[in-house]
Amino acid sequence: MAALIGQKIGMTRIFDTEGKETPVTVVEAGPCPVVQVRTEDRDGYRAIQLGFGQKKEHRASRAEAGHAAQAGLETTPRVLREFPMGADEDVEAGQEFTVEVFEAGDRVKVTGTSKGRGFQGVVKRHGFAGRPASHGHPMSRTPGSMGPGTDPSRVIKGKKLPGQMGGTRTTVRNLEIVRVDADRNLLFVKGGVPGSRNSYLFIAKT
């Protein structure tokens, strides 16, 4: 089972031996302790619950602290996330996963919360071209006609309109891990990933 919880550090670029440049996102991933193991007999499915980070003692509820203590953890994780586990995998609570579960060249999917853009119009939100810009057009960024007037005399559901943009859970698949730094718990993922700096990411092998 290759999955980790991490925190986005930012973007940079790395060069290979031939001098070719590759844009990468640096993610601090793990170490992630196994807080709980879900089984078919007890829960009806197989999965593991991983933790990441540490909560201050006075910020953790008694239930959260007790849940972590059952796995033999001295501190309460800041983030918990379940990942599916294969039928032939054997994992125990308290076991720890690090970036070494991945290798350079692995393909992963990364899930995070995209940057919130607030309330935006159709030009920015959906890429509309807008109206003619010459001669000071008074409504150059409006969406235009809303729908048929006679039948059905309403706006059809699903029409692209202004609204809240970003701030939603987003998954990007088939990203390549370019480098693994086990000493600093860093993953270098090719290209961009969802979220702002210091936001939490869930990384799983595809």
Q: Which of 85, 111, 82 is closest to 203 using CA atoms?
A: 111
Q: Is the pLDDT of residue 192 over 70?
A: yes
The pLDDT tens digits for 9-68 are: 999 999 988 899 999 999 999 899 999 999 998 999 999 999 999 999 999 999 999 999
Q: In the chain, what are the domains?
A: 3-118+169-205 (2.40.30.10), 119-165 (no CATH)
The pLDDT tens digits for 170-189 are: 999 999 999 999 999 999 99
Angle, alpha carbons 110-111-114 (nearest 5°): 120
* Joined tokens for residue 178: 């370019």
Angle, alpha carbons 201-9-1 (nearest 5°): 35
The pLDDT tens digits for 56-99 are: 999 999 999 999 999 999 999 999 999 998 877 888 888 999 99
Q: Is the pLDDT of residue 145 over 90?
A: no
* Joined tokens for residue 142: 């409006």
Please check whether residue 67 is in contact with residue 80, taking contact to mean a CB–CB distance below 8 angstroms.
no
Mean pLDDT of the chain: 92
Mean pLDDT of 158-163: 93
**What integer pLDDT is reported at residue 28 of this predicted model?**
96
Instruction: Give CA–CA dist 153/116, Å, rounded.
Output: 34
**What integer pLDDT is reported at residue 1 of this predicted model?**
67
